[in-house]
């Protein structure tokens, strides 16, 4: 059914939210956040998912990691159907698939020290690891994302947006994932910091062989980081092509509209 | 974070004075048996409604004047000229007492009540009940409020609607009726000297509902934040998320709410005891002591010292409220009204 | 050379807090001429937004914040103005639009009544307020303006809300519009619409625009002059074409280099070492 070269395959994914009205909370309608989406992510590659707000791109990313309820469709991860797994059987995949979030000011618990933030996934997935091993791993991860060992005992508010995003990446890397859903990881950052994070993600991919689903609204960033690009609007993917083709030879009207709206330098 | 809050409390002059007052009150409560000259229930029927005994300095010693009862029907006392008894310190496990063989002699720093018990002694012992009721009660309330509120907010669905309708129900009944009804329902299961627990249970049952509702709201907003999503995504369990991620982020609210609702407990105990439904004689509590002051005789004859428990309730409640206000300003600077 | 509409000389802004003194703006100079657009670009924390707020003294009062330097609007000294005169300038002569339209609009009033408030405040002579509002909404491309004036902000999309903000800013025909990241919160297609609208308004009314942004693409398409801010200072200033094609200051060069550009795929993006540049 699935191609072994793909780490992820999504087929006809739908996420519909019921609209309830009245005192009896009867379901009268549904919001089709994601309405029949099909795509694949080749192993070791980056697939960019671009769209405007409300297009369903974030919901698509969240549905893959079961943070949004799937109405119908199939998700294969390494040839295994994970879309219809229950909570328990899905648990091992929580280690393999990680997520990086958009808002670096919101994605770290303000009341936790950096060491605890990064060690939290280790506490869950590597229960046998000794505290000193965990600490070593945290320090190693901090170095990997370009932060200093001396940062371990600080709190998130002591860091800039770019540094926080690095911490978020270190947390995601802690459990040695194979696949990462990056949900607008650079949208809230300054351009110079954005460049650093994008470079870091690319370096990590080269080093660790990660595969990314990179969600963003900035076409230029998407084009830069992605091998393949998916253009999404109104819950549907309207165009799917390589990064070069999307820019040089857009097929769909919406893609053209999107490209022409970007003020060029 | 908690340490920072505490340091800022100490730096603020107003909150510092409140903290000092409260610390003194609690120290007095803890060391009540040592600080008070008599056991709380020692009577002296010949010296009912005795006014505070004057303390004079004579023969290089602190001495108290001796009084005689000049009109037993109106409880009128007069100091006997020249007759005094010296005060002895650190005697018989007490801070101070009278240096005399006469077991009828008394030192009444704040007068005596209708059965000649020392008001000062009873204030110290009463503080133990009145002040601990707030602390014990508030920990029950806040735990219950957090567990119910956070679970409702985090789980949503059926649990949430059932719990919140229940909270609505509790909030819709006038507090005093509910308190009286609960008291009536629970009291038969406790002996009269364990009324302390009855009051705490009754008060805790009433007050948890409003904090549960606020915490539910806060949980709803925290659960939207991405660090909760991140924890869910890494496979963290529900209760771990509740205690590791949600609790620390509502803790400052809990602290403020707790400080601001301690007075409710103190006043609630006072109200119940004042109505004769709370702490029972011969135990002491500020509310119970105040209930003595409601008799006509006290009003007519101006036994002001019987109102001292009221004054202490007032001081404690004000101190907790101001402390809570300062805490809220520290925790949530947006709420600040003055700069 | 005619005198500029707005002239800023040696503007210094510092914030005092318990932690110490933070010098947000360290002596900047710029002029805005009628009908021209000056873009101020910089990263967050460069002091671009506070500089814009300081023009009509919209910042907190001393001792929290100290503003030094000179700001002249149409020959008047803004720093020496009474608060009554200042209120006349704010909104009427110099209008602002901000990044988040959803936060800038009051959720409990209809958009009509919010625009009416501005009219009543600054143009009491206008009799038919309603017609004026409808006209204003019409001009910013809101269709069915008669019906829309009864809408509440949440009934409108982000782009529509920003149009309402612009209508509100323009209703008193200001001579200067300060637009602080007007499209940052919006999608690119909506951004294009809003920038087209501002361009059209600029041509029709001849007002001057001070555009605060971090997006060089917008600067390129919209502004006449550009000032690049870095750590509270303007490090480079000049006509847009010149600055973008031949940036002189290393910070401007670095900033332009680190932006990914459509159709120019590079292996790596250039990054900036801020501390090295600051020396």
The 3-state secondary structure of chain C reads CCCCCEEEEEEEEEEEECCEEEEEEEEEEEEECCCCEEEEECCCCCCHHHHHHHCCCCCCCCCCEEEEEEEEECCEEHHHCCHHHHHHHECCCEEEECCCHHHHCCCCCCHHHHHHHHHHHHCCCCCCHHHHHHHHHHHCCCCCHHHHCCCCHHHCCHHHHHHHHHHHHHCCCCCEEEEECCCCCCCHHHHHHHHHHHHHHHHHHCCEEEEEECCHHHHHHHCCEEEEEECCEEEEEEEHHHHHHCCCCHHHHHHHHCCCCCCCCCCCCCCCCHHHHHC
Q: Distance between CA atoms of B31 and B132, rounded to whole angstroms? A: 13
- Residue A21 pLDDT class (50, 70, 90 cuts): confident
Mean pLDDT, rounded, for C37-44: 92
Q: What is the pLDDT of residue C40?
A: 95
Side-chain-facing half-sphere of A246: CA atoms under 13 Å: 30
Tokens read off for C155: 């009934």
Percent of chain A whose predicted confidence (pLDDT) is above 70: 99
- CB-CB under 8 Å, C244 with A258: no
Query: Is the pLDDT at B334 greater than 60, yes or no?
Result: no
pLDDT at A237 over 90: yes
Lowest mean pLDDT of A189-193, B314-318, C211-215, name the range.
A189-193
CB-CB under 8 Å, B234 with A94: yes
Name the helix (H) or strand (E) containing A181: strand A179-183
Give B243 to chain A, closest Cα distance, Å.
12
Q: What is the pLDDT of residues B2-23, one digit of tens each?
A: 788 888 888 889 999 999 999 9
Q: Mean pLDDT across the stretch B129-158? A: 90
- The size of chain B, in residues, is 339
pLDDT at B87 over 70: yes
Chain A: residue nearest B225 by CA? A106
Residue B57 has pLDDT above 50, yes or no: yes
Which residue bears the tokens 């206000």? Answer: B325
The CB density around residue C267, as the number of other CB atoms within 10 Å, is 7
Q: What percent of chain C has pLDDT over 70?
A: 99
The whole-number pLDDT of residue C246 equals: 93
Closest CA–CA distance from residue C126 to any residue of chain A (Å): 38
Q: Per-residue pLDDT tens for C216-226?
A: 999 999 999 99
The distance of A89 to chain C (nearest Cα, Å) reads 38
Confidence of residue B198 (pLDDT cuts 50, 70, 90): confident
Strand partners, C31: C7
- Touching subunits for chain B (3+ Cβ pairs under 8 A): A
Question: Residue C239 domain-assigned?
Answer: no
> Contact, A216 vs A187, CB < 8 A?
yes
Between chain A and chain B, the number of residue pairs with CB atoms below 8 A apart is 58
Please tell me if residue C188 touches chain A, with a CB cutoff of 8 Å: yes
Task: Return the residue of C nearest to A221 by Cα.
Answer: C260
Q: Which of C217, C222, C274 sits opposite A262 (nearest CB)?
A: C217
Question: Mean of the per-residue pLDDT values for chain B?
Answer: 86
**Cα–Cα–Cα angle for C101, C106, C109, rounded to 5 degrees:** 125
Residues of chain A with C-beta less than 8 angstroms from the C-beta of C187 = 52-53, 217
Interchain CB distance below 8 Å, B230 and A171: yes
Domain count, chain C: 1
Q: Do A107 and B230 touch (CB under 8 A)?
A: yes
Tokens at residue C93, please?
């002569």
Top mean-pLDDT range of C10-14, C81-85, C140-144: C10-14
Q: What does the pLDDT read at residue B335?
A: 52
Residue B338 pLDDT greater than 70, yes or no: no
If you measure CA to CA, which chain C residue comes closest to A216? C187
pLDDT of C233 > 90? The answer is yes
Instruction: Say if residues A190 and C44 touch (Cβ distance below 8 Å).
Output: yes
Does residue C31 form part of some domain?
Answer: no
- For A125-162, how does the pLDDT look when each residue is reduced to its tens digit (9 = 90+)? 999 999 999 999 999 999 999 999 998 999 998 898 89
pLDDT band at C62 (very low <50, low <70, confident <90, very high): confident
Q: Which of C190, C265, C270 sits opposite A243 (nearest CB)?
A: C265
User: Is C192–A195 a contact, with Cβ atoms under 8 angstroms apart?
Assistant: no
Bridge partners (DSSP) of residue A50 are A216, A231
Q: Is residue C112 part of a domain?
A: yes
Q: Out of A233-242, C29-38, C85-94, which region has the weakest mean confidence (pLDDT)?
A: C85-94
pLDDT attached to residue C100? 80
Instruction: Tell me what pLDDT residue B3 has.
Output: 80
Partners of A262 on chain C (C-beta within 8 Å) are 188, 217, 262
Q: Residue C136's domain spans which residues? A: 95-173
User: Which of B5, B161, B235 would you mutate first to test chain A, the one with the most A CBs within 10 A?
Assistant: B235
Name which of A161, A218, A265 is nearest C220 (Cβ-Cβ). Answer: A265
> Quick one: tokens of B277?
């439904």
| For B244, nearest residue in chain A (alpha carbons) | A112
Specify the pLDDT at position A100: 94
The label of the residue with tokens 């919001």 reads A31
Is there a contact between C195 and A263 if contact means CB atoms under 8 Å apart? yes
Contact of B129 with B198, CB cutoff 8 Å: no
**According to the model, what pLDDT value does residue A1 have?**
55
Q: In this complex, which of A193, A262, A265 lies closest to C244 when CB atoms are compared? A: A265
Pairing verdict, β C20-32 and B94-98: unpaired
* pLDDT digits 0-9 by tens, A93-132: 999 999 999 888 889 998 899 999 999 999 999 999 999 9
* Distance of alpha carbon B320 from alpha carbon C173, whole angstroms: 54
Average pLDDT over chain A, rounded to whole? 91
Q: Please report which confidence band the pLDDT of residue C19 belongs to, taking 50, 70 and 90 as the band edges.
A: confident
- Picking from C189, C214, C265, the nearest residue to A191 by CB comes out as C214
Please name the residue that has the structure tokens 């909370």. Answer: A25
Q: Is residue C199 part of a domain?
A: no
Residue A3 has a CB neighbour count (10 Å cut-off) of 11
> Do the beta carbons of residue C26 and residue C233 sit within 8 Å?
yes
User: Does residue B134 or residue C267 have the better pLDDT?
Assistant: B134
pLDDT of residue A6: 92
* C142 C-beta neighbours (distance < 10 Å), count: 21
Answer whether residue C13 is part of any domain. no
Residue C139, domain member (yes or no): yes
Segment A1-30 shows an average pLDDT of 84
Complex ipTM, two decimals?
Answer: 0.85
- Residues A27-35 have a mean pLDDT of 86
C279 pLDDT more than 70: no
Let me know: does C54 contact C9? Beta carbons within 8 Å: no
Confidence (pLDDT) at B165: 92
Interatomic CA distance for residues A117 and C177, integer angstroms: 45
Judged by CB atoms closer than 8 Å, whether chains meet at C258 and A53 is answered as: no
Measured CA to CA, the distance from residue B34 to residue B39 in angstroms comes to 10
Asked whether residue C101 is domain-assigned, the answer is yes
- Three-state secondary structure of A2-51: CCCCEEEEEEEEEEEEEEEECCCCEEEEEEEEEEEEEEEEECCCEEEEEE
Estimate to the nearest angstrom the gap between the alpha carbon of B258 and the chain centroid. Answer: 13
Domain membership flag for residue C154: yes
Sign of CA dihedral C97, C101, C103, C106: positive
Closest CB to A99: pick one of B1, B233, B236. B233
Instruction: Quote the pLDDT of residue B339.
Output: 39
- What are the start-end ranges of the H helices in B156-194? 157-172, 175-186
As beta bridge partners, residue A230 has A49, A240
């Amino acid at each position: 059914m699935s191609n072994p070269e793909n780490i992820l395959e999504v087929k006809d994914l739908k996420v519909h939210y019921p609209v309830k009205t009245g005192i009896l909370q009867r379901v009268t309608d549904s919001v089709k956040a994601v309405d029949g989406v099909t795509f694949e992510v080749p192993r070791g590659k980056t697939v960019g998912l671009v769209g405007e707000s409300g297009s369903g791109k974030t919901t698509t990313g969240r549905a893959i990691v079961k943070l949004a309820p799937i109405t119908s469709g199939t998700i294969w991860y390494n040839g295994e159907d994970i879309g219809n797994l229950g909570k328990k059987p899905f648990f091992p995949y929580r280690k393999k698939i990680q997520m990086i979030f958009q808002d670096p000011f919101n994605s770290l618990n303000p009341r936790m020290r950096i060491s605890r933030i990064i060690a939290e996934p280790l506490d869950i997935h590597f229960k046998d690891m000794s505290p000193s091993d965990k600490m070593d791993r945290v320090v190693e991860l901090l170095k990997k994302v370009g932060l200093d060992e001396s940062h371990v005992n600080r709190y998130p508010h002591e860091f800039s947006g770019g540094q926080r995003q690095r911490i978020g990446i270190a947390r995601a890397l802690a459990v040695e994932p194979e696949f990462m859903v990056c949900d607008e990881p650079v949208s809230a950052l300054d351009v110079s910091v954005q460049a650093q994070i994008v470079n870091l993600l690319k370096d990590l991919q080269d080093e660790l062989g990660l595969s990314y689903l990179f969600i963003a609204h900035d076409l230029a960033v998407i084009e830069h980081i992605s091998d393949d690009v998916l253009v999404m609007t109104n819950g549907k993917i309207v165009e799917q092509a390589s990064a070069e083709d999307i820019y040089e030879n857009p097929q769909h009207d919406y893609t053209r509209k999107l490209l022409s709206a970007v003020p060029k330098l | 974070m908690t340490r920072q809050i505490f340091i800022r409390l100490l730096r603020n002059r107003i909150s510092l004075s409140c903290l000092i007052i409260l610390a003194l009150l609690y120290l007095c409560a803890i060391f009540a048996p040592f600080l008070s000259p008599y056991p709380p229930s020692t009577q002296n029927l010949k010296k009912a409604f005795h006014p505070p005994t004057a303390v004079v300095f004579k023969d290089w010693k602190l001495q108290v004047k001796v009084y005689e009862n000049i009109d037993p029907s109106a409880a009128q006392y007069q100091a006997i000229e020249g007759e005094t008894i010296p005060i002895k310190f650190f005697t018989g496990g007490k801070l101070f007492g009278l240096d005399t063989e006469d077991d009828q002699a008394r030192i009444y720093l704040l007068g005596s009540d209708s059965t000649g018990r020392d008001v000062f002694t009873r204030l110290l012992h009463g503080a133990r009940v009145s002040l601990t009721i707030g602390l014990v009660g508030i920990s029950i309330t806040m735990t219950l409020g957090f567990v119910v509120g956070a679970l409702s907010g985090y789980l949503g669905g059926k649990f949430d609607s059932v719990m919140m309708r229940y909270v609505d129900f509790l909030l819709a009944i006038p507090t005093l009726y509910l308190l009286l009804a609960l008291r009536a329902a629970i009291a038969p299961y406790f002996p009269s000297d364990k009324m302390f627990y009855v009051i705490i249970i009754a008060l805790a049952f009433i007050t948890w509902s409003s904090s549960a509702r606020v915490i539910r709201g806060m949980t709803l907003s925290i659960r939207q934040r991405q660090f909760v999503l991140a924890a869910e995504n890494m496979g963290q369990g529900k209760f771990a998320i509740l205690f590791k991620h949600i609790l620390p982020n509502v803790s400052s609210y809990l602290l403020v709410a707790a400080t601001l609702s301690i007075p409710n407990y103190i006043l609630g105990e006072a109200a119940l005891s004042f109505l004769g439904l709370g702490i029972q004689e011969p135990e002491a509590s500020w509310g119970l002591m105040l209930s003595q002051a409601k008799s006509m005789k006290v009003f007519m004859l101006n036994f002001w010292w019987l109102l001292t428990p009221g004054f202490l309730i007032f001081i404690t409640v004000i101190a907790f409220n101001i402390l809570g206000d300062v805490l809220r300003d520290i925790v949530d600077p947006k709420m600040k009204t003055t700069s | 050379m005619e005198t500029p509409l707005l002239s800023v000389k040696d503007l210094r802004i510092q914030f005092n807090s318990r932690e110490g003194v933070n010098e947000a703006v360290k002596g900047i100079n710029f002029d805005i001429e009628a009908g021209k657009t000056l873009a101020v670009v910089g990263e967050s924390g460069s002091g671009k937004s506070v500089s814009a707020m300081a023009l009509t003294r919209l910042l907190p009062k001393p001792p929290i914040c100290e503003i030094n330097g000179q700001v002249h609007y149409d020959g008047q000294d803004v720093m020496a103005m009474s608060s009554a005169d200042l209120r006349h300038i704010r909104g009427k002569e110099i209008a602002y639009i901000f990044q988040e339209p959803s936060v800038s609009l009051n959720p409990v009033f209809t958009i009509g009544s919010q625009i009416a408030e501005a009219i009543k405040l600054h143009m009491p002579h206008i009799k038919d307020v309603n017609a004026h509002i409808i006209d204003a909404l019409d001009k910013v491309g809101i269709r069915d303006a008669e019906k829309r004036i009864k809408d509440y902000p949440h009934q409108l999309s982000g782009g529509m809300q920003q149009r309402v903000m612009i209508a509100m800013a323009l209703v008193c025909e200001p001579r200067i519009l300060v637009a602080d990241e007007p499209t940052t919160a919006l999608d690119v297609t909506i951004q294009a619409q809003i920038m087209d609208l501002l361009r059209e308004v600029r041509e029709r009314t001849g007002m001057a625009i001070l555009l605060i942004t971090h997006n060089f693409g917008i600067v390129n398409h919209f502004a006449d002059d550009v000032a690049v801010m870095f750590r509270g200072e303007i490090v480079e200033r000049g006509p847009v074409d010149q600055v973008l094609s031949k940036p002189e200051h290393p910070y401007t060069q670095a900033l332009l280099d680190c932006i990914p550009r459509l159709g120019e795929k590079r292996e790596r993006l250039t990054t900036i070492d801020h501390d090295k540049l600051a020396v």
